Amino acid sequence: MRQFLRKITTGQIVLAGCLLTLLYALLSQGTYHSDEHFQILEYARMKLFGTPGPENLAWEYPAMMRPGLQPFIAYCAGAMLDAADLYSPFVHVFLLQLLSGAFSVAVLIFFLGAVRREFGTLSWRKWYLILGLFLWFMAYLHVHFSAEMFSGNALLLLAGLFLRYRRDDCDRKEFLRGVALGLAAGLAFIVKFQTGFALAGFGLWLLFFHRRWRLYAGIAAGFIVMLGVGALADHWLYGEWVCTPVNYLRENILNGEMDKFGREPWWYYLTAPILEGGIVFGLLAAVATLYFFVRHPRHVVTWMLVPFLFVHFFLGHKELRFFFPVLFFSPWFIVLMIRNLPRRIVDSRPWRYTVALLAVLNFCAMAYPLTIDTPDIYFFKMMRKYCDGKERVTVLIPYGERTYYSIFQNIGTPRMTIATFYMPDNMRWECPPPGEPLEKRARELSGEGTQVIVLSADPGLDGSSSLPLRKITWSPYPRWVIRYFNFNDWTRFTVRSKNIYELVPARTSAPDNGSAR
């Protein structure tokens, strides 16, 4: 390993990392959480093409509580593609993921420049780049155009800017440096309001340990500018002047709407990062983070991240993605922890074997999303292929059921939230209201010459319905996975409630148009 590190240069590591990021942007489409889709892509789709209507957007839209900056960026990217006659939802997402990946890599390299002296030797700087670019969850998350990723990069940029300012130890252009810090802080906040807890910790550290009034003035100016940018983006999204942070606080905290998505025990965050991050890799990141906090209790990054993490322990609704902004610091934490291990440990044979095994496991975890589509993306591609050559296709969605095209939300006014972003141009959707027979509407549409597709959570609808239905069997997994690795039939769990039925004339036996791998 040491010989390998001596032979490669930091430039070669960065180049390989950029190529990997490009591959992830191209091949690893899909979302970690539905918010990434419904609060960005669907908003941009509405502004671009007028669908879905506001009544079919997520409940947060009428509450006017989500920031508009990322939807605006997504809209600009889509408008550019549409103007060049290159628009496709998959190209649109690729472009957004490419932008996110480029931002992630640029901030990672910038932060290395701020902390390179802490690593001592060049080999540890190379390790930082290797972990930051090739650790599987970093490679996966870097390209996701989500609020957690965007704000995490902004926090890392803020930390890097401040550490560079402290390293230079000079008063020249202190106001302008403060403006840069304020812009980075404001960017983190207007994308993800929860980062305000990290910014509060940063502000307290400044008041206790670094009193520079010109710096404070610059930070305030930069932060106010970004708040203005956020307000303009929100006005563009909602069509009126709104204060989305206040609306978010009112709905999710004061009205407790976020708790309707589930409440978890206080110890959830002690286990979830380890289990979902891969036991070894998640444990490594968690231990390294705790090690840094204990070893550097007065460090500005500790004061930023501890309040951010601490507050989330007391919120009833917990999700691992809320901690994602902290992950951007984990390569730095891991290198600092391992660098301080006794020499006899890092030079031992068991250590080398362990590192080699982890490298293999990491490669497998990194390769998986590059070779297999997520179930939702495979479904969208399959439906677009199904619609090719057909004049009209109507998808009927039973009211209240969750499909890849819909989510029922019973917050405020009950609504069917519809995902139209990936729908083909010749596809329409209908959701018959409660009490209106779906069968009747299906026959009417079929009589008009429209091909009808019924989505249902019922795996036996083709046998129990009065409609002449044929089930389209599908699976997002390649045949070799199903044949050799389908232990206990685990591959069925993804699609068992996502059934597709094609309405066919009673006397017709057309071939199955499904495209199971």
The one-digit pLDDT tens for each residue of the chain (517 residues) are 667 777 889 999 999 999 999 999 999 988 888 889 999 999 999 999 998 899 999 999 999 999 999 999 999 999 999 999 999 999 999 999 999 999 999 999 999 999 998 888 888 999 999 999 999 999 999 999 999 999 999 999 999 999 999 888 666 789 999 999 999 999 999 999 999 999 999 999 999 999 899 999 999 999 999 999 999 999 999 999 999 999 999 998 888 888 888 888 878 888 887 777 677 788 889 999 999 999 999 999 999 999 999 998 888 888 888 989 999 999 999 999 999 888 888 778 888 888 889 999 999 989 988 988 999 999 999 999 999 999 999 999 989 889 999 999 988 788 899 999 999 999 999 998 887 788 899 999 998 889 999 999 999 998 888 899 999 999 998 888 888 888 888 888 888 889 999 998 655 444 454 445 5
Cβ atoms of 328 and 156 within 8 Å: the answer is yes
C-alpha to C-alpha distance for 306 and 198, rounded to whole angstroms: 8
C-alpha to C-alpha distance for 399 and 153, rounded to whole angstroms: 39
Torsion 415-234-181-137 (CA) sign: positive
503 forms beta bridges with: 469
C-alpha to C-alpha distance for 93 and 405, rounded to whole angstroms: 17
Give the pLDDT of residue 260: 84
Burial of 200 (C-beta count, 10 Å sphere; 0-12/13-18/19+): middle
Nearest to 237 by CA among 225, 247, 222: 247
Query: CA angle 287-291-293, nearest 5°?
Result: 120
Nearest to 36 by CA among 26, 25, 44: 44
β-bridge pairing 499-503 and 469-472: antiparallel
Cβ atoms of 438 and 454 within 8 Å: the answer is yes
Give the pLDDT of residue 505: 65
Give the pLDDT of residue 277: 67
**Phi and psi (nearest 5°) for 297?**
-65, -25
Nearest to 97 by CA among 144, 65, 138: 144
DSSP 149-209: HHHHHHHHHHHHHHHHHHHHT--TTHHHHHHHHHHHHHHHHHH-GGGHHHHHHHHHHHHHH
Cβ atoms of 145 and 97 within 8 Å: the answer is yes
C-alpha to C-alpha distance for 78 and 471, rounded to whole angstroms: 35
> Exposed e or buried b for every residue in 477-487, given b needs 16+ CB within 10 A?
beeebbeeeee
Give the pLDDT of residue 266: 78
pTM (2 d.p.): 0.92
Give the pLDDT of residue 345: 84
* Owner of token pair 């980075």: 184
β-bridge pairing 393-396 and 427-430: parallel
**Phi and psi (nearest 5°) for 85?**
60, 35
Cβ atoms of 123 and 1 within 8 Å: the answer is no
C-alpha to C-alpha distance for 327 and 333, rounded to whole angstroms: 10
Give the pLDDT of residue 506: 54
C-alpha to C-alpha distance for 511 and 473, rounded to whole angstroms: 12
Torsion 302-303-308-310 (CA) sign: positive
C-alpha to C-alpha distance for 347 and 362, rounded to whole angstroms: 21
Instruction: Round the CA-based radius of gyration of the chain to a whole number and report it.
Output: 25
DSSP 2-33: HHHHHHS-HHHHHHHHHHHHHHHHHH--S-SS
408 forms beta bridges with: 416
Amino acid identity for residue 439 in this structure: E
C-alpha to C-alpha distance for 507 and 500, rounded to whole angstroms: 20
Contacts of 238 (CB under 8 A, 6+ apart): 61, 64, 68
Contacts of 436 (CB under 8 A, 6+ apart): none
Q: And the tokens for 384?
A: 């677009």
